[in-house]
Amino acid sequence: MKGVCINTGASTNLKEGEQYFLFEHGPVHYYASRFERKGAHFGAFERKLFDVFIERSASKWPPEPPCIKVSLDNSKVYKADLVWRKEAYKDKPLGVYYIRLVKTHCWFYFDSQMKKPGGCFPIHWFDGFQEHDSEMQQEILELPKNEWEQMQLF
């Protein structure tokens, strides 16, 4: 929340009429900061020294889905829907991804060949798991050893 100093009291840090970010500190005090970070406060001051004018609005981001136990095979690739992500990851669109499980998280990819990685998210952010057909994946073919030859540069 934000507020304006209406009385400096005995403080030399506060300036009357200046705006500060305020953070709760007990029933009768605020931490005051010039920055929107509680850890950057420069002191605790009585509430009566401030006129609060902006209450921080509650986040409109939907709540995180409950953490559920999903039994999937680590060696297989699955197709799943990303149904939630933190607000900080809002640039990652919700939708269908190809995932590979790693304990409680999974690596997700944009393509079925697993060439374009998207990141690593908790498994409970995904839903609708379907085993991806392994025949659709391109296998890495290797030449037989008798056909190996050193590349000539000149």
Does residue 68 carry a pLDDT above 60? yes
Contacts of 72 (CB under 8 A, 6+ apart): 78, 101, 123, 129
pLDDT tens for each residue of 4-46:
888 888 888 888 888 888 988 888 899 999 888 888 898 889 8
Q: Give the tens place of pLDDT for each residue, 78-134.
A: 999 999 998 888 888 899 999 999 888 999 999 888 889 999 999 999 998 988 875
Give buried/exposed letters for 72-107 (b at 16+ CB in 10 A, else e).
beeeebbbbebebbeeeeeebeeeebbbbbeeeebb
**Positive or negative torsion for Cα 45, 47, 50, 54:** positive
